[in-house]
Structure 1
Amino acid sequence: MLSVRIPATGGRFGSRFRRSVPRVLVAALAMPIFVSACSSPPAPAFDLTAPASPSRRSALAGRQIVVPEPSTIGPLEAERIVAHDAANSISYISGAQWADRLPRLFQARLIQTFENGSSVRASRPGDGVVGDYQLNTNIRAFQLDASRSEAYVEVSLNLVDLKSGKLVSGRVVSRRVPVPDGRGATVAQGLDRALSGVLLDIVRWVGGGR
């Protein structure tokens, strides 16, 4: 509780001082409310989508794939949307961000892409499912390439046999999509389209058993 000691000053001056204290307290307590009302609104958050995977028979049909959260470099670990310029320096797109941490969003949309038509089953570690294979991914690039005005996504893959612990195969997949400007919504939509192509490539590759 806020406590104010009023000096024992006699006469009309002391009386006027005591009457003025409540007005000062009201003004002081109202100031934080005014400041918080003037704070800037949060940047719009953009989600990523899982494309429909064509249903077809695969060499790993009915097998269980465990999909951990991908590894990546520091700037891609959070919700910020990254841009690279001609000198390969890193900046962030203002006025936009992802709806969640990028690695967690990527993991969720990759699993959903398997679910959207693939005969291979996918799950997260810790779901209580015994997996046949583990698909390790590393997000190498997920950014606006400002020097080429393109959304660029590149992911490396390793498919591991969980029974033997051996690496079955690995590869790198990437996509580039033109973006007409550097606005947050435009860049986010371009990266979403590039990711859709990468996710379909991953599911087809895993389904082919390669």
Structure 2
Amino acid sequence: MNKSVSLFVVLTALLLGGCAGIGTINRAATPTDLYALTPKSTFDANLPRLRQQIVIEEPTATAAVDTDQIAVHPTPLQVEYLPGVRWVDRAPLIVQALLIESFENSGKVAAVGRSTVGLRPDYTIVTDVREFQAHLPKSEEPDAPLEIHVRLNLKIVDSFSDHIIGSNSFTEVVPTQSDEMLDIVTAFDSALGRAMRDSVEWSVRKIYGHAQANPRPQLR
């Protein structure tokens, strides 16, 4: 059976069958297809320009999300993983890398990177990946689309005072065009891209406002 056409059928059968496990299918599904996501590159042209340096910490996530497997929730209390497919890295590391690149693509940040590169940040962005999964459609219609849920919770920490200056949550829900794997990944890319765009724009504005109101003391 063609894998791209049968994902929804497989998931539905697993949900109804009970005894069958995705682990068995995973072991039989070879080779594994790898999928990547893309950074955001378009932003509000009126964003202020920052002189401050920013560090993006590795995001936190639950064990269900902190994996390179592509998660699906058949019900709110169940987590399954699509057989034979993987992300190119663990989801939190993908989000971290794409957030950094998205900040760079905005053209509004003096310097941004990971803490491991030795930057002495003015501000640190701490991210929690709350949702990063597909949901089976609630409708019983055979052609009902899957829903991709992405939710990022961001906190901005002033590295000088070690205080949180802002916290916000960015949620996106995008339906898939079909149950084909490429359409599922495209919906993930769209949902994450929208969440990252809003995250970057909010962060830049929040940091700019805080920096303007709280200038650093001049060193003598």
Q: TM-score range by the shorter chain?
A: 0.7 to 0.9
Instruction: Give the whole-Å Cα distance in 2 for the aligned partners of 1:84 and 1:41.
Output: 23
Partner of 1:17: none
CA distance in 2, matches of 1:179, 1:142: 14
Paired residue secondary structure (2:50):
coil
Match of 2:112 among 117, 122, 138: 122
Q: Map 1:138-157 onto structure 2 (within 5 A).
A: 138-148=128-138, 149-157=146-154
Q: Aligned partner of 2:192: which letter? A: L
Q: CA deviation at 1:41?
A: 3.1
User: Taking structure 1 as the reference length, what is the TM-score of the superposition?
Assistant: 0.76
**1:93/1:183 contact within 8 Å kept:** no
Q: Which residue of 2 aligns with 1:110?
A: 99
Render the CA deviation track for 1:53-105: whole Å, top value 9, x for unaligned. Answer: 43646456121111011000102111100001234311011232101111111
> Residue 190 of structure 2 aligns with which residue?
193
1:181 equivalent in structure 2? 178
Q: Percent of aligned pairs with the same residue?
A: 27
Are the counterparts in 2 of residues 85 and 145 from structure 1 also a CA contact under 8 Å? yes
1:168 to 155, 162, 165: 165
Unpaired segments ≥5 residues, structure 2: 1-27, 139-145, 208-220
- Alpha-carbon contact 2:48-2:108 (below 8 Å) kept: no
Q: 1:63 aligns with which of 45, 52, 70?
A: 52
How large is the Cα RMSD of the aligned pairs?
1.9
Partner of 1:26: none
SS in 2 for 1:51: coil
Q: Give the secondary-structure state (helix, strand or coil) at the position aligned to 2:186.
A: helix
How far apart are residue 154 of structure 1 and its match?
0.4
SS at match of 1:113: helix
Are the aligned partners of 1:53 and 1:118 in contact in 2 as well (CA < 8 Å)? no
Deviation of the 1:122 alpha carbon: 1.4
TM-score normalised by L of structure 2 = 0.72
Moved more, 48-57 or 75-84: 48-57
Q: How many Å apart are 1:185 and its aligned residue? A: 2.6
1:168 is matched by which residue type in structure 2?
I
Question: Is 77-86 or 56-65 further displaced after alignment?
Answer: 56-65
79, 88, 102: which is aligned to 2:68? 79
> What stretches of structure 1 move > 2 A for 4+ residues in a row?
39-42, 53-60, 180-186
Provide the secondary structure at the position in 1 that maps to 2:129: strand
Q: Secondary structure at the match of 2:39?
A: coil
Unaligned runs of at least 5 residues, structure 1: 1-38
> Amino acid of the residue matched to residue 113 of structure 2?
S
Contact 1:64/1:131 (<8 A) preserved:
yes
Alignment counterpart, residue 208 of structure 1, candidates 196, 202, 205: 205
When Rg is computed on C-alpha atoms for both structures, the one with the higher figure is 1
